[in-house]
Amino acid sequence: MHVVESADVPESPQRPEPQPAREVRTRARRMADLAGLIRPSHTAKAILLVPLALLGTFPWNLAEVRGILPATVAFILASAAVYIGNDIADRHRDRHHPVKCHRPVAAGRVGLPAAYLYCAVLLALLGAIVARSPASYWPVLVYLALNVAYSRILKHIPLVDVGTVALGFVLRVVQGYEVTGARLPAWLLVTVFSMSLLLLIGKRRRELLEGGAAHRPALHGYSMELTNWLLQIASVLALVSGLMYLRDEGPFGPQFGQTAMMLSTPFALFALFRYLQLQLVGEEGGDPVRILLRDRVMVANSMLWAATLGVTLVIAHNPTLAAAVPL
The residues of the chain scoring below 50 in pLDDT are 1, 4-7
Count of CB atoms situated within 10 Å of the CB of 251: 21
The predicted pLDDT at position 196 comes to 95
- Under 8 Å between Cβ of 98 and 211: yes
- Under 8 Å between Cβ of 197 and 163: yes
* Together in a domain, 46 and 148: yes
- Under 8 Å between Cβ of 275 and 202: yes
Last residue of a domain, one of 181, 199, 228: 181
* Together in a domain, 106 and 238: no
The predicted pLDDT at position 69 comes to 93
The predicted pLDDT at position 157 comes to 93
In a domain, 2, yes or no: no
The predicted pLDDT at position 259 comes to 93
Max CA separation in the chain (angstroms) = 95
Contacts of 156 (CB under 8 A, 6+ apart): 217, 218
* Together in a domain, 53 and 106: yes
The predicted pLDDT at position 105 comes to 84
* Together in a domain, 219 and 251: yes
Contacts of 154 (CB under 8 A, 6+ apart): 160, 161, 164
Q: In the chain, how many domains are there?
A: 2
Last residue of a domain, one of 181, 206, 239: 181
The predicted pLDDT at position 10 comes to 54
Q: What angle do CA 136, 169, 270 make, to 5 degrees?
A: 135
In a domain, 327, yes or no: no
The single-letter DSSP state of residue 95 is T
In a domain, 63, yes or no: yes
The predicted pLDDT at position 6 comes to 46
* Together in a domain, 43 and 175: yes
The predicted pLDDT at position 291 comes to 73
CA 270 to the chain's CA centroid: 20
Contacts of 222 (CB under 8 A, 6+ apart): 158, 204, 205, 208
Q: What is the pTM of this model?
A: 0.84
Q: Which domain holds residue 230?
A: 185-318
In a domain, 5, yes or no: no
Burial 126-157 (b: 16+ CB within 10 A, else e): beebbeeeeebbebbbebbebbeebbeebbee
Peptide bond into 59 cis (omega under 30): yes
* Together in a domain, 166 and 206: no
The predicted pLDDT at position 206 comes to 86
Q: For 6-45, what is each residue's pLDDT tens digit?
A: 445 555 555 665 666 665 666 778 788 888 888 887 888 8
* Together in a domain, 314 and 265: yes
* Together in a domain, 68 and 152: yes
The predicted pLDDT at position 264 comes to 96
